[in-house]
Amino acid sequence: MTNTAEFQPFDFEHGVNELSMREFFVWCARQNVSDIHIQGGNSLVVDQHGRKRRASTFVLADDTLGKLMDDIFSPEVRSMVKGGQPVDRPLQLDGDMHNRYGLERGERLRFRCNFVQATAGRLDTTIALTMRIIPTDIPDITKMGIEADLFEALLPPNGIGILGGITGSGKSTLAAAAYRNCQKTEPDRKITTIEDPIEFVLGRPEDILQPTQLQIRRDVETYAEAIRADLRRAPSIIGIGEMRDLETFQAGVLAGQLGHFNLTTMHIHSPGEAIPRCLTMVPAEMREATARDLLGVLQYIVVQKLLRTTDGKRTAVREYIVFDDPLRAKLADLKYTEWGQHIDNIIRVEKRRIADQAWRLYQQDIIEQSELRMAMTSHQQRAFEQGKAA
């Protein structure tokens, strides 16, 4: 297992300033870091394969953090955060012929940044910055261990696909890998995405038509507005960063009915949660009809989780349901309020839950018991230990 002592903090040889921080961000990407945590009165901390590491030998002073924010982002960002407004901003670093920040010419790094004001330790108020590193290279989806039936269903001609999981479970990576594979294998399909903010840059010089990626509040005000605009742009695939309100949900269902495929994400813990979560956005008197519309366009629901492995890395496990004609017919005979339980029960009976997979990984010594507890309830763990899955 990876030992904390193996991780060496970044060498801020020439002090902490705008240049050295940008070099630090690039260094983090080279160290397979997923998230960077920066706040006043604390060391710089990073997540490497799901584990917290101290990335500096010093504690960052609050006033130093304020100046860095002004230099790297803008005084406007600090003013908004100090005024009690959380802020999301992307950051992009580009290399040039002078190897700027340690990036090669043409190399690019992107970060999704969130700022909030908070109490932390002895500081009554400080700014806490969390930066998600968006990997430069989009993984080859054929090497991601996607189950065969799910792989075949990932990019159908129309409808809606839902990728679920908690923050940091690899939803964006899976979506980007699916888009990139489509560009390679089905170049006649037009891809457009709506994101907040843009994460993976999908376009490549060799593409016949590079995907267009719209950023909320920069290119368009809302997801729903962007979907409606996309319907006039002859897309084959519409990537929707998140269906988080009724207007977006209704626009996505309509797009699926009109012959476009929508790929979106949701924060859910099981596939059965997705339909009730969608319908809670709908007025009660409309839910029955909306549920039937949704059933007609749903293609699959996936929930993914990343588990830390004993070799210091992480592996993805997922549970999913693909909507075929027999399943649609069965659900149509049930009350829509029973659909979620029926879906989760199918996955449970077939032993395809994340808990089932985590137990098998634990039995193979691929994950430790502490990680097993992150993938199942204590009740489920006791049942597995007794030889009967709950």
If asked whether residues 182 and 123 sit together in one domain, one would say no
pLDDT in tens, 282-339: 999 999 999 999 999 999 999 999 999 999 889 999 999 999 999 999 999 999 999 9
The CATH number given to whatever domain includes residue 40 is 3.30.450.90
Which amino acid is it at 243? M
Contacts of 213 (CB under 8 A, 6+ apart): 192, 193, 194, 195, 198, 201, 202, 203
Cis status, amide bond into 197, omega within 30 of 0: yes
pLDDT at 389: 63
Residue that is last in its domain, among 107, 134, 161 = 134
Do 106 and 25 fall into the same domain?
yes
Please name every residue paired with 307 in a beta bridge, in sequence order, or none if there are none.
315
What tokens were used for 175? Answer: 């979506």
Residue 328's CATH number: 3.40.50.300
Q: What is the pLDDT of residue 4?
A: 45
Q: Is residue 387 part of a domain?
A: no
* 194 and 77 within one domain: no
Q: Which domain holds residue 106?
A: 4-134
Do residues 122 and 156 share a domain?
no
pLDDT, residue 388, reads 67
In a domain, 369, yes or no: no
pLDDT at residue number 1: 41
For residues 62 and 25, membership in a common domain is answered with: yes
pLDDT digits (tens, 9 = 90+) for 93-149: 998 877 888 898 888 899 999 999 999 999 999 999 999 998 778 999 999 999 999
Same domain, 186 and 259: yes
Given 134, 152, 182, the domain boundary residue is 134
Predicted pLDDT at 377: 86
Give the tokens for residue 121.
């330790």
Looking at the structure, do residues 36 and 171 belong to the same domain, yes or no?
no
In a domain, 89, yes or no: yes
Report if residue 361 sits inside a domain: no
Structural domain ending residue among the three candidates 108, 134, 160: 134
If asked whether residues 319 and 186 sit together in one domain, one would say: yes
Partnered with residue 38 across adjacent β-strands are: 129
What is this structure's pTM?
A: 0.85
State residue 374 phi and psi, 5-degree precision: -80, -15
- What is the per-residue pLDDT for 39? 96
- Counting as low any pLDDT under 50, the low residues of the chain are 1-5
**Residue linked to tokens 């137990």:** 359
**Number of domains composing the chain:** 2
Going along the chain, which residue ranges are E strands?
33-39, 45-48, 51-54, 87-94, 108-120, 123-134, 159-164, 191-195, 212-215, 237-240, 261-266, 298-308, 314-322
Whether 236 and 182 map to the same domain: the answer is yes
Could you tell me if 96 and 150 lie in one domain? no
Residues 169 and 26 occupy one common structural domain: no
* CA distance linking residue 9 with residue 24, whole number of Å: 10
